[in-house]
Amino acid sequence: MHVLVTGAAGFIGSHLVERLFAEGHSVTGVDDFDPYYPRATKEANMAGYRDHADLRFFESNLSSDPLDEMLDGVDAVVHLAGIPGVRGSWGTEFTSYLENNVLATQRLLEALRKRPKTLFVYGSSASVYGDDALEAIDESWLPAPYSPYGVTKLAGEHMAHLYGSVHGLPTASLRFFSCYGPRERPDKATQRFLLAALEGRPIEVYGDGTQQRDFTYVGDIVAGIVAAVERAPVGENINLARGRTRPLNDVLAAIEQATGKVLEVHYKPAEAGDVRVTHACIAKARRLLDYEPTVELEEGVALQWETVQRRHAAS
C-alpha cells in the first residue's frame, strides 16, 4: 500500500514510517516542523528513513497549504499531525490547536471526498475520555474531555465519522493512551525525567506521583496503527494501550533502574487538565486488529534511555 503519514517527523509518526517501510509499504510523509519543539529533534527522528527510495516528503502546513499533490496515489492516510499537550492548550494558544487539530483534519477529509476509497485513520487520544472514570474504559464510554486539547481531539474524531456517515469515506479513529519510548517529545514526562537524570538535575513531578497511567510503548502503538491500515476497521473508535495501569512513581523507579542513578524528585501541585487515571480496555483492539502489546514499562524505559544517551553523545 501507499500510505500518507501526517506528522511523519514526530514521535509516533517517525516510528510508524519506519514500520511501514519494514513491512513493504511505500510512504508519503508530511510535517510542517512546527516550533512546538526544536526542528533538529524532528530531523534526528527522520534520520533512519529520510533517504528511503520509497519516500515522498512534503514540508507543508495542513491547515493552509494545498493538499491534492500529497494525496495523489495514496491508498490510506494516517493523520497524526497536530499540536499536542494538555497544559499548553489553555489560554491564547488555543487558536493554534483549533487550526492544527481541527481545521487541518477537516481540510484533509474534504480533500478526500474526491478520493472516496482512501482509508482515513485518525490518531486520537485518551484525552477524549476526561477524568470521571477510575476503572478501565472501553470505547462505549461517553467522552467528556478534561482539557481544551482533549476537546480538539474529540472534534477530530467526530469530523472523521461525520465524513464517513455523510460522504461515505472509510474512516476509523485510534485512541492512544500514555505513549512513551525512544524519540518521545521533550515536553513529555518520561523524556523530561530521563534528560534530567542524564544531566544530574532534579526532577519535577506535577502531582504526588500516585496518578495512574496506562503507559504504552510506542512500538506497540505503531503495531496497532499498521494493523488498522491493513485491516481497515471502518467506522470504529479503538483504544490502543497496554491495558493496565502503573503509577507515575513506577516510571521514576524504572529510570533509576535503567540509569543506575538515584533521582532527586521534587513534587509540585498537579496542573489544570491532568487526569487522575488513564486505563483502557483493549478487547476491541484485540478482536478487530489482533492487537497484543508486549513491552513492559521497565523494558521500554531502558530502550528510551539508550536513545537519550546516544543523541546526547551525538549532539
Provide the pLDDT for residue 87: 85
Q: Domains for the chain: give ranges and CATH numbers.
A: 2-183+216-243+281-294 (3.40.50.720)
Q: Check residue 118 and report its DSSP letter.
A: S
Provide the pLDDT for residue 273: 74
Count of residues in the chain: 315
Per-residue model confidence as pLDDT tens digits over 156-208: 999 999 999 999 999 999 999 999 999 999 999 999 999 999 999 999 999 99
Let me know if 122 is a catalytic residue. no
What values do phi and psi take at 61, rounded to 5? -100, 115
Q: Where are the alpha helices (DSSP H) in the chain?
A: 11-22, 39-45, 68-71, 94-97, 104-112, 148-167, 189-199, 218-231, 248-259, 283-289, 297-314
Provide the pLDDT for residue 275: 83
Q: How far apart are CA 175 and CA 228, in angstroms?
A: 12
Provide the pLDDT for residue 213: 95
- Cell numbers given for 275: 487526569
Provide the pLDDT for residue 134: 76
- Bridge partners (DSSP) of residue 17 are none
Percent of the chain topping pLDDT 70: 100
Provide the pLDDT for residue 135: 84
Per-residue model confidence as pLDDT tens digits over 95-132: 999 999 999 999 999 999 999 999 999 999 999 998 87
- CA nearest 164: which of 118, 100, 203? 118
Q: How far apart are CA 192 and CA 185, in angstroms?
A: 9
Q: What is the CA radius of gyration of the chain?
A: 19
User: Residue with C-alpha cell 501507499?
Assistant: 2
User: Residue with C-alpha cell 514526562?
Assistant: 189
- Cell numbers given for 76: 490510506
Provide the pLDDT for residue 14: 98
The stretch 76-97 carries a mean pLDDT of: 93
Judged by average pLDDT, the poorest of 71-75, 133-137, 175-179, 229-233 is 133-137
The stretch 19-40 carries a mean pLDDT of: 95
Catalytic residue among 36, 149, 217, 291: 149
Provide the pLDDT for residue 315: 77
The model's pTM is 0.96
Provide the pLDDT for residue 120: 98
